[in-house]
């Protein structure tokens, strides 16, 4: 995929794509930041080929993680700024200003995450027992801020099969100095009796307030609801799926590498007989979510459309990435 | 009772096999316990009847200690030992004969029970049903394969069942019977539940109020099924019903080694992280549509019926041993 792309970043680029598709880059925000960094590097290296890099590179970035709303939204923000600069000062100045644009975009994302974590941390109280699923840097940041305020709490992390990033989460949370307990995903209902609050991140938020996140999140939410534990989703608005306003469904992705589901040495037992399916995301319905914590405040999931209207008008005036790239082509 | 006996190698091997889970599944554990008792009886050297009985009690207690949760284990022990005790033995040879025939009787009964459960359970499934199951249960597999032979089951989703991945055993067993099997990670159960018609699982222990103790994740699966209005059936032999719970005892939930979940290297690197590995959980009776036993299909709340029918006599013996309650204590 990357070989036709401007020579000097082509190797780095194809490596990045495979990390992205293979799930090496864990969080969706981290993936978006890495995508921006690689565009920044390309703006230095590609010179006159940069326009071509954008036209080919951006669609292939999006294609390697089709479910990531963040990636699409963040790339759109960048291309919007790129086009605006180009229409004033021409293509060349847009290329030259790309590093500045990207640094400021990354700063904005950081700011959003800071705000989300700041607000989220206020929902953590002394003696809380918290459960979290999968890996989320925003959740980690939220814990950090609660700790800084002197709040003491304990955390359960789920293994988060099949990819197992819950183990990374356990490591990170524990190294903050929080008492951390790792459990298998199946033990969620067993421990939920003791859990007061559940904090999870999100890959995307749909217009009805449903949250798309790593597979198993909706199971955790159901178990929380049954046990009357509160469920908070920490998500900046850059995770909002504008497409869902127009009736699009968020696309499911299936794991291609099934070694994490069936250990290699047991493949032969099942080969040719048993189908193995590993969906990567699931959808948690809004009625299982107590609040979505955004940079604009704590919201009922059903209030998401109101916030979107306030910020972007109704229906939201958002151009698709495709039409923005058409604009780049015409430059 | 404190005396230690030298036990036949086979008995020790079975005890250790149950402990390290190379012998697993409540039904299989019960059958192996019966075999161990038979071997123990056969291996007894002396001629003193009361010494023989003490020895068999010792073996019973030794086997009971192999794993705490599955009640099939003490029930299998009771099945054999109660027949010995009722025997009014004239000689050790007679005792051996009774122990061997009781053990064989139990094994036959257990094997036959799985077959009957399969036949009864298959009637609860309907044409075109999509089934989901968890862990590995011989009784549940029997229900699903019987229904499949009647042309009823169109597809089975098998959960992997972390940490020990018993789902892989079930997936293979069902696929070998010609079923259309899809293996999924535990986290994907709710994602696929929309497409499922019936959940069929086994049990480790059924308690007095009809709650079912089974492999960790069963209660979560039952909750997910309930949310989607999918029926949940538990397939189990009656020797997994716990008479002890009728006397107010709680079922101890076994917590196993963290290394079943993460490896040694990970534990070293993350010594600050606790790893909690409970093996079983409790599914409340209201999440279970029916328990399918070899004695018939019952609502879980009627578990008392099985307990009275199967353990009535012995229960009275248990209750008689309890200290009488004084009136003053009741008023306190």
- What confidence score (pLDDT) does residue A251 get? 78
Instruction: Indicate whether B196 belongs to any domain.
Output: yes
Same domain, A106 and A131: no
Measured CA to CA, the distance from residue B297 to residue B233 in angstroms comes to: 10
Of A161, A180, A190, the CB nearest to B185: A161
When scoring A166, A184, A212, A265 by the number of chain B Cβ atoms within 10 A, the one with the most, hence best to mutate, is A184
Q: What is residue A165's three-state secondary structure?
A: coil
Residue B305: predicted pLDDT: 87
The chain A residue lying nearest B135, using CA atoms, is A186
Position B171 in a domain: yes
- Of B317, B314, B278, B315, whose CA–CA distance to B69 is shortest? B278
Q: Are residues B86 and B189 in the same domain?
A: no
- CATH code of the domain covering residue B20: 1.20.120.420
- Which contiguous run of DSSP H or E holds residue A36? helix A28-45
Percent of chain A exceeding pLDDT 70 equals 98
Residue B45's domain comprises 9-115
Same-domain check for residues B127 and B87: no
Sign of torsion over alpha carbons A118, A119, A121, A125? positive
* Chain B interface includes A193 (CB < 8 A): no
Provide the token pair at A158.
Answer: 């789920």
Residues in chain B within 8 Å Cβ distance of A229: none
Q: Do B183 and A185 touch (CB under 8 A)?
A: no
Neighbours of A147 (CB within 10 A): 16
Measure in Å the smallest separation between the Cα of B124 and chain A Cα atoms. 25
Asked whether residue A61 falls in the same domain as residue A128, the answer is no
A258 contacts chain B (CB < 8 A): no
Mean pLDDT of A174-198: 98
Active site residues per annotation of B: 135, 204
The number of folded domains in chain A is 2
Are the CB atoms for A223 and A296 separated by under 8 Å?
Answer: no
- The answer to whether residues B200 and B79 belong to one domain is no
Number of structural domains chain B divides into: 2
The per-residue pLDDT for range A220-248, each reduced to its tens digit, is: 999 999 999 999 999 999 999 988 887 77
Compute the average pLDDT of residues B108-115: 94
Check whether residue B90 and residue B206 sit in a common domain.
no
- Asked if B63 and B129 sit in the same domain, the reply is no
pLDDT-derived band at B330 (thresholds 50, 70, 90) equals low
Query: Are A174 and B273 within 8 A, CB to CB?
Result: yes
- The answer to ipTM > 0.85 is yes
B11 — pLDDT class (breaks 50, 70, 90): very high
For A46-142, strand residue ranges (E) read 128-132
Indicate yes or no: CB of B186 within 8 angstroms of CB of A186: yes
Residue A55 sits in a domain of what CATH number?
A: 1.20.120.420
> What local confidence, expressed as pLDDT, does residue A5 receive?
75
The reply to whether B184 touches chain A by the CB within 8 Å rule is yes
Q: Are residues A64 and A103 in the same domain?
A: yes
Q: Can you tell me the mean pLDDT for A278-301? A: 96
Q: Cα–Cα distances in Å, from B274 out to A147, B262, B296?
A: 19, 11, 43
Grouping H, G, I as helix, E, B as strand and the rest as coil, residue A280 is coil
Say if CB A2 and CB A11 are below 8 A apart.
yes
Q: What is the pLDDT of residues B305-320, one digit of tens each?
A: 888 887 766 666 666 6
A212 in contact with B, Cβ within 8 Å: no
Interface check B172 vs A, CB under 8 A? yes
Look at B101 and A8; give whichever has higher pLDDT: B101
Q: Are residues B150 and B44 in the same domain?
A: no
- Rounded to whole angstroms, the Cα distance separating B290 from B231 reads 9
Pair A145, A286 in one domain: yes
With beta carbons under 8 A apart, name residues in chain A contacting B276. Answer: 156, 181-183, 187, 191
Among A189, A250, A264, A271, the strongest candidate for a mutation testing the B interface, having the largest count of B CBs within 10 A, is: A189
The DSSP code for A256 is S
pLDDT over threshold 60, residue A70: yes
The two tokens of residue A142 are 């939220």
Q: What confidence category does residue A2 fall into, taking pLDDT thresholds of 50, 70 and 90?
A: very low
What number is the average pLDDT over the span A260-285? 93
The rounded distance, in Å, linking the Cα atoms of A72 and A57 is: 13
HEC letters along chain B? CCCCCCCCHHHHHHHHHHHCCCCCCHHHHHHHHHHHHHHHHHCCCCCCHHHHHHHHHHHHHHHHCCCCCCCHHHHHHHHHHHHHHHCCCCCHHHHHHHHHHHHHHHHHHHHHHHHHHHHHHHCCCCCCEEEEECCCCHHHHHHHHHHHHCCCEEEEEEECCCCCCCHHHHHHHHHHCCCCEEEECHHHHHHHHCCCCEEEECCCEECCCCCEEEECCHHHHHHHHHHCCCEEEEECCHHHECHHHHHCCCCCCCECCHHHCCCHHHHHHCCCEEECCECEEEECHHHCCEEEECCEEECHHHHHHHHHHHHHHHHHHHHHHCCCCCHHHHHC
| pLDDT band at residue B328 under the 50/70/90 scheme | low
Residues B98, B134, single domain; the answer is no
Q: What is the CATH classification number for the domain harbouring A208?
A: 3.40.50.10470
Facing B216 at nearest CB: one of A156, A179, A186: A186
CB contact under 8 A, B270 and A171: yes
Provide the β-strand partners of residue A297: A294
Q: Are residues A156 and A209 in the same domain?
A: yes
Is residue B330 included in any domain, yes or no? no
CB A299 within 8 A of CB A307: yes
Tokens of A262: 């069936």
Kindly state whether residues B134 and B251 are assigned to the same domain: yes
For chain B, the average pLDDT equals 92
CB contact under 8 A, A161 and B186: yes
Confidence check: pLDDT of A66 > 90: no
Which residue of chain A has the CA closest to B165? A262
The verdict on B97 and B22 lying in the same domain is yes
Q: What is the pTM of this model?
A: 0.91
- The CATH number assigned to the domain holding B139 equals 3.40.50.10470
With bands split at pLDDT 50, 70 and 90, how would you rate the model's confidence at B326?
low
Residues of chain A with Cβ-Cβ distance to B179 below 8 Å are none
pLDDT value of residue B322: 59
Residue B82's pLDDT band (cuts 50, 70, 90)? confident
Asked whether the beta carbons of B182 and A275 are under 8 A apart, the reply is yes
Nearest Cα of chain A lies from the Cα of B287 at a distance, in angstroms, of: 12
Mean pLDDT, residues B60-82 taken together: 90
Q: What is the mean pLDDT of residues B180-184?
A: 98
Tokens of A105: 């975009």
Residues B148, B110, single domain; the answer is no
| Residue A307 shares a structural domain with residue A180 | yes
Angle at A65 between CA A61 and CA A70, to 5 degrees: 85
**Mean pLDDT, residues A279-286:** 94
Domain assignment of residue B332, yes or no: no
pLDDT of residue A217: 98
Whole-number Å distance between alpha carbons of A154 and B287: 30
Residue found under tokens 């909750």: B223
- B26 close to B72: Cβ distance less than 8 angstroms: yes
Q: Is the pLDDT of residue B63 over 90?
A: yes
Q: A105-119, pLDDT tens digit by residue?
A: 999 999 999 999 999
- Cβ of B182 within 8 Å of Cβ of A274? The answer is yes
The sign of the dihedral angle between the CA atoms of A259, A262, A267, A271 is negative
Cβ proximity of A230 and A224 under 8 Å: yes
* Same-domain status, A142 and A99: no
Compare CB distances from A219 to B168, B189, B266 and report the shortest one's residue: B189
Nearest-by-Cβ selection for A222 from B160, B224, B281: B224
- Is B83 touching A (CB cutoff 8 A)? no
pLDDT tens-digit map of B136-172: 999 999 999 999 999 999 999 999 999 999 999 999 9
Which of A158, A173, A186, A283 has the highest number of chain B CBs within 10 A, making it the mutation to test binding with B?
A186
* Distance between start and end Cα atoms, chain B: 37
Cα–Cα distance between A222 and A260 in angstroms, integer? 25
CA B300 – CA B287 distance, rounded (Å): 9
Residues A138 and A281 in one domain: yes
Residues B127 and B111 in one domain: no
B223 contacts on A by Cβ (under 8 Å): 189, 222-223, 226
Question: Is A262 near chain B, with CB under 8 Å?
Answer: yes
Rounded CA separation A60/A17 (Å): 8
A223 touching B, CB under 8 A? yes
DSSP state of A249: P
Residues B105 and B253 occupy one common structural domain:
no
Quote the domain boundaries for residue A282: 116-312
With residue A201 as reference, give the H or E element that holds it: none
- pLDDT bin (cut points 50, 70, 90) of residue A28 is confident
């Amino acid at each position: 995929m990357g070989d036709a792309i401007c020579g000097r970043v082509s190797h780095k680029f194809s490596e990045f794509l495979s990390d992205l598709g293979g799930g090496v880059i864990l969080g969706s925000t981290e993936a978006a930041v890495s995508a921006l960094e690689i565009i920044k590097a390309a703006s230095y290296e590609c010179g006159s080929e940069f326009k071509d890099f954008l036209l080919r590179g951006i669609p292939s970035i999006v294609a390697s993680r089709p479910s990531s709303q963040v990636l699409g939204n963040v790339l759109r923000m960048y291309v919007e700024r790129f086009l605006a600069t180009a229409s004033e000062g021409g293509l060349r100045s847009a290329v030259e200003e790309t590093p500045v644009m990207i640094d400021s975009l990354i700063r904005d994302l950081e700011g959003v995450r800071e705000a989300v974590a700041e607000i989220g941390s206020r929902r953590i109280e002394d003696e809380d027992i918290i459960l979290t699923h999968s890996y989320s840097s925003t959740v980690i940041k939220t814990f950090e801020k609660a700790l800084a305020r002197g709040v003491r709490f304990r955390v359960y992390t789920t293994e988060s099969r099949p990819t197992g990033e819950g183990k990374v989460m356990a490591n990170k949370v524990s190294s903050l100095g929080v008492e951390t307990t790792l459990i298998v995903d199946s033990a969620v209902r067993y421990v939920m009796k003791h859990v007061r609050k559940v904090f999870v991140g999100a890959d995307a938020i749909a217009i009805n307030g449903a949250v798309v996140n790593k597979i198993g999140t909706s199971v955790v939410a159901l178990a929380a609801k049954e046990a009357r534990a509160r469920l908070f989703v920490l998500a900046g608005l850059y995770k909002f799926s504008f497409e869902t306003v127009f009736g699009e469904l968020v696309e499911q992705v299936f794991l291609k590498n099934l070694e994490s589901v069936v250990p290699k040495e047991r493949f032969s037992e099942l080969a040719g007989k048993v189908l193995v399916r590993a969906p990567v995301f699931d959808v948690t319905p809004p009625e299982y979510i107590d609040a979505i914590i955004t940079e604009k405040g704590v919201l009922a999931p059903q209030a998401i459309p109101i916030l979107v209207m306030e910020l972007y008008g109704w229906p939201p005036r958002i151009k698709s990435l495709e039409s923005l790239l058409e604009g780049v082509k015409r430059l | 009772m404190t005396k230690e006996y030298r036990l036949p190698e086979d008995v020790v091997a079975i005890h250790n096999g149950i402990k390290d889970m190379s012998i697993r599944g409540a039904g299989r554990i019960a059958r192996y316990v019966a075999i161990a008792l038979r071997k123990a009886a056969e291996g007894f050297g002396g001629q003193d009847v009361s010494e023989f009985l003490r020895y068999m009690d010792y073996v019973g207690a030794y086997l009971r200690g192999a794993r705490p949760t599955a009640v099939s284990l003490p029930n299998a022990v009771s099945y054999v030992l109660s027949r010995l005790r009722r025997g009014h033995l004239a000689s050790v040879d007679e005792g051996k004969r009774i122990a061997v025939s009781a053990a064989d009787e139990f094994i036959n009964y257990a094997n036959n029970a799985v077959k009957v459960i399969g036949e009864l359970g298959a009637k609860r499934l309907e044409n075109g049903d999509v089934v989901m199951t968890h862990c590995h249960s011989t009784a549940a597999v029997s229900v699903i394969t019987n229904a499949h032979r009647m042309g009823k089951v169109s597809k089975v989703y098998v959960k992997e069942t972390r940490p020990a991945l018993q789902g892989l055993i079930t997936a293979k067993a069902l696929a070998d019977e010609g079923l259309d099997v899809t293996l999924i990670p535990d986290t994907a159960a709710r994602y696929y539940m929309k497409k499922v018609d019936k959940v069929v699982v086994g049990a480790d222990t059924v308690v007095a109020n009809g709650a079912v103790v089974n492999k960790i994740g069963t209660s979560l699966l039952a909750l997910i099924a309930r949310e989607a209005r999918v029926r949940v059936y538990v397939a189990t032999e009656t020797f997994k019903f716990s008479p002890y719970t009728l006397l107010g005892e709680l079922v101890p939930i076994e917590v196993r080694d963290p290394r079943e979940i993460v490896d040694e290297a990970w534990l070293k690197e993350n010594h600050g992280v606790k790893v909690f590995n409970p093996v079983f959980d409790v599914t409340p009776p209201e999440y279970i549509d029916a328990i399918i036993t070899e004695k018939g299909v019952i609502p879980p709340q009627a578990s008392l019926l099985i307990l009275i029918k199967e353990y009535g006599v012995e229960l009275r013996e248990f209750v008689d041993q309890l200290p009488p309650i004084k009136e003053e204590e009741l008023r306190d």
